[in-house]
Amino acid sequence: MDPKLPRVATQPEGGWDDRDDLDRLYRRYAPWLGAMLRRRFGRGIDADADDVVQETYARLAPRNTNEIRSPQALLMRVASNLAKDLLRRRAVRARHAEAVQSGPGEPGATATPMEDLLVRELILSIPERYRDVFVLSRFEGLTYEEIATRCGLSVKAVEWRLNKALEHCIVRLQDEAEDA
């Protein structure tokens, strides 16, 4: 510790002297953990491996590291879970970006005029308070925030109404499938 800096600046909370064991754990296993993440997850995680390692140790900070029996196993489990979450979020974002780039569906893009008519009928059967949100989301391509602003709703209300509209469509389609 630098004697010129006050203790408060270098150790903001009491008990940080006990964190030497976490520091030792980090110095010993961080390079290994980063290499293992790169090996296990390949290029998908390469740029973010160091961030995942940091987050892994942040997750372990509240724990008493002296009680950890298998530090490598614990570190790898936590880091693997964090990496999987990161990759899953990226995949969702990529699908969303792809959907946004492809734009909303074209009217008449269904295979036949009969299917187009059935889709229109289905949309018109959605209760009006849910239909507006559904149409703005699915056909106008607006984000939840934009819909909330336009309709004077909260983002949560937009999510809820869109969910209700989708539930309505699912029930109607199931009913029609049973009738057929």
- Which CATH code fits 113-179? 1.10.10.10
Which pTM does this prediction carry? Answer: 0.49
Alpha-carbon distance of 124 to 134, in angstroms, equals 11
pLDDT digits (tens, 9 = 90+) for 34-56: 999 999 988 878 888 999 999 99
pLDDT digits (tens, 9 = 90+) for 138-172: 888 889 999 999 888 899 999 999 999 999 988 88
Instruction: Choose between 27 and 3: higher pLDDT.
Output: 27
Q: What pLDDT is attached to residue 75?
A: 93
Q: What pLDDT is attached to residue 9?
A: 41
pLDDT digits (tens, 9 = 90+) for 85-116: 888 888 888 877 776 666 555 544 546 788 77
Most confident of 2-6, 94-98, 133-137, 174-178: 133-137
Cα three-residue angle 76-35-29, rounded to 5 degrees: 55
3-state SS string for the chain:
CCCCCCHHHHCCCCCHHHHHHHHHHHHHHHHHHHHHHHHHHHHHCHHHHHHHHHHHHHHHCCCCHHHCCCHHHHHHHHHHHHHHHHHHHHHHHHHHHHHHHHCCCCCCCCCCHHHHHHHHHHHHHCCHHHHHHHHHHHCCCCCHHHHHHHHCCCHHHHHHHHHHHHHHHHHHHHHHHHHC
- Of 2-6, 18-22, 156-160, the one with minimum mean pLDDT is 2-6
Rounded alpha-carbon distances, angstroms, from residue 127 to 116, 144, 164, 168: 19, 19, 9, 9
